[in-house]
A and B are shown apart, each in its own frame.
Chain A
Amino acid sequence: MKINIDKLFRNKIKEFKVTTPYGVWSAVETKLKRRRMLRFFGVSFVSLMGFMFLFFQADKKSTADTTKKSTSKEYSKNKIETSIDNKDAVSEKFEKNQIKNNKKKVVNRNLSTNITKGKAIYVNKTTDVKNIQLAAKKVETTSFTSESKNNQHKKNKKIISGLPKKHPVKQEKSFGSKNDSLNSLALKKIDSSKVLNKNAVINEEKLVVTEKNRKWSITPIFGVFNSSRYSEISLALDNSFEDNSSVELPSISFGYKLAYEVSDKLSFQLGIVSKEVRFLTKDLFLTDITGFNSSNIVYNPGVLVRFSTSNINLSGDPGAQSVSLVQTIGYTEFPFEIRYAVYNKPKLKANFIVGLSFLFLEKNEIRSKTGLFSERIASVSNLLDSSLSYNFGLDIDYDLSKRFVFNAAIMLKKHFNTYSNYNNKTGPFVRGIHAGIGYKF
């Protein structure tokens, strides 16, 4: 019978039924977890780098400002010294020129004084000629030789009479005395140095303030916790496990904490932490699937055994029949906490902590643990994807250096809204410590 080859294959492929091998999901889940962890560390690393970058940018800026300030100080100092040197040079020149030409000297001196002072020469209508003449005479009596007195006087008269009457030259206070102007400059120099010193003090104060102003700190933390519940541990897993004894299991947490100091007493902190809550339910048995239903435990595809409270309907090695159930609940935690300093010394600080955490479910697994094997076989269906915890604790900050601080905290965290179908009494609480070395910026 002739048949279209496409039709032949299509008809046959309809019959194609396969069962996925058991190990694939475990491999997929492991890789997903690894990816999540990588993402977490990647984000943390990038955030840390971002903070470091911002910090160094801020640090560079402040260094640049300090350099700029010191440069301008140097500049003004040099300027003052230069003007003093100029003044000396001009004065020396002035003395030499005095003997040659008195009139010229008077005008030059006036000019040079004004120039060194950085002022423009100006003419004042209100100053009369007499004052100028008296000033000229004074210059003659103090500075000039008797030989040149008369000539100079005549020349002075000539020059003064040659000046326009409407614009008589104003007599400056500094005009008559070189020492006066030098003294004033010296005073200025002293004043400037005072200002310099004052600025340096201010800058030092600023630096001290900057050092004190390291209000932010980022701390990678690592913690060890113990988990428990106020009510029977096993109810949240299965109603039939009510009488089974339970044991608290230690678990670890790690992450980053970012703190901001509002005042000496008060600071806020937030963070991102990966943590696990673990419980062990004892005295259970493994049984086969027939006639057994669990209220909240969802077994992985391909798992052919079930937890049971009674030793019935069992097959296989007796050693494998008695089993403990290990439940692990993993969360990504975002804590928001307030710290209040109850002890505050320069190096050591103790704080009371209160706050809450947003918890996002990351891991939900149940392992069966016997004397022969430990294998992940199920998860629970009643865990909510997001929940809360109220946090209380005490922590200490010990300054290792200006930048680094050791932080350790004892915390108690009560979880709420953990399960979809149980009240908050069954919600776990964790208690433990975490510690880390923080970087202040």
Chain B
Amino acid sequence: MSAQAKIYSLFADKLFRVCLKYSKNYQDAQDTLQDSFLMIFKDIKKFKHKGSFEGWAKRVTVNVALQKFRDKSVLQFDAMEDSKFAEEDVFVDVDEKNISLDFLLSLIKELPPKYQVVFNLYVLDRYSHQEISELLKISTGTSKSNLFRARKLLQNKINNSKINSYENKHRQVIS
């Protein structure tokens, strides 16, 4: 097995997870994974052994995924964003066990791209606002406000889905 095939077999699943988070569908995620590996093999000499290879490969994958957003011109941030409530935590009143991962991922995909990207980067991939601002070439304030809006939208969607599921159950009981 060639060295490239070994790298692929070691990291493909992990990177495909990243791709799925940033892609609209399974097919897009496959394309992103493919492009990410091509980029990884092209730039592998740039890996300076500072930190893990997996971390570096994930960053490359995130960059490739973001580039796809940019190519589609859907990643446009407003210059002036309100960061008034940016630091505020957002809570939902749900039973964690009753919520599936697929449902949560579908909620993320329903977000506008700018909120989706910032939420993914900050919450799921643990980037700091500083890193996000450098990556997306926006201010930290914009990053914070986009994160806050993403959280609020997700909160509303979860609450709505809760109501809907209650209504559905209620209807089923009545019928």
| Contact of A18 with B13 at beta-carbon distance under 8 Å, contacts A2-B91, A5-B92, A6-B123 already known | yes
Contact of B91 among A4, A12, A32, A35 (CB under 8 A): A4
For residue A91, CB closer than 8 A to chain B, the reply is no
Decide: A1 near B95, CB < 8 A? Known: A12-B104, A16-B17.
yes
- B interface size (C-beta, 8 A): 40
Q: Are B124 and A4 in contact (CB under 8 A)?
A: no
B104: chain A residues at CB < 8 Å are 8-9, 12-13
A25 contacts B5, C-beta separation under 8 Å: yes
The chain A residue sitting closest to B101, CB to CB, is A12
**B22 proximity list for chain A (CB < 8 A):** none
Q: Which residue of A lies closest to B147 (CB)?
A: A6
Contacts of B52 in A (CB 8 A): none
Q: Which of A11-39 contact B (CB under 8 A)?
A: 11-13, 15-21, 23-25, 27-29, 31-32, 35
Complex Cα gap A51–B13 (Å)? 47
Q: Are A1 and B17 in contact (CB under 8 A)?
A: no
CB of B71 within 8 Å of the partner chain: no
Assuming the contacts A6-B151, A15-B101, asked whether A32 and B16 have C-beta atoms less than 8 A apart, the reply is: no
C-alpha spacing A381/B2, complex, angstroms: 8
- Judged by a CB distance under 8 angstroms, whether B83 is at the interface is no
Stretch of B34-42, B59-67, B130-138, B167-175 contacting A (4+ beta carbons < 8 Å): B34-42
Task: Tell me whether A372 is interfacial, beta carbon within 8 Å.
Answer: no
Q: Which residues of chain B from 94 to 134 have any CB-CB distance to chain A below 8 Å in the complex?
A: 94-96, 99-101, 104-105, 108, 123-124
A276 CB to closest chain B CB (Å) equals 15
Q: Does A300 lie at the interface of the complex (its beta carbon under 8 Å from any beta carbon of B)?
A: yes
A112, B4: Cα distance in complex, Å: 90
Report the interface size class on chain A: 35 or more
* Beta-carbon contact of A301 and B9 below 8 Å: yes
Return B149 CB to nearest CB of chain A, in Å: 12
| Inter-chain contacts of B20 with A (CB < 8 A) | 16, 18
Is A4 in contact with B99, judged by CB distance below 8 angstroms?
Answer: no
Residues A379 and B151 in contact, CB atoms below 8 Å apart: no
Contact assessment for A5 and B154 in the assembled complex, using a CB-CB cutoff below 8 Å: yes
**Contacts A12-B101, A28-B37, A32-B38; A1 near B5 (Cβ below 8 A):** no
Would B2 and A364 count as touching, CB distance under 8 A? yes
B57 at the interface (CB under 8 A from A): no
Indicate if A208 sits at the interface (CB-CB under 8 A).
Answer: no
The interface residues of chain B lying within 8 Å CB-to-CB of A27 are 34
Q: Are B5 and A5 in contact (CB under 8 A)?
A: no
Determine if A31 and B34 form an interchain contact, defined as CB atoms under 8 angstroms apart: yes
B33 pairs with A20, CB closer than 8 A:
yes
13 other A-B residue contacts (CB within 8 Å) besides A12-B104, A19-B13:
A2-B91, A4-B89, A5-B158, A6-B89, A8-B94, A10-B124, A11-B96, A16-B105, A23-B30, A28-B38, A32-B4, A35-B38, A300-B5
A-side residues, CB < 8 A to B, are 1-6, 8-13, 15-21, 23-25, 27-29, 31-32, 35, 298, 300-301, 361, 364, 379, 381
22 cross-chain CB contacts under 8 A:
A1-B93, A3-B94, A4-B89, A4-B90, A5-B90, A5-B91, A8-B104, A9-B104, A9-B108, A11-B96, A12-B96, A12-B100, A20-B16, A24-B16, A24-B33, A24-B37, A28-B34, A28-B38, A28-B41, A32-B4, A35-B42, A361-B2
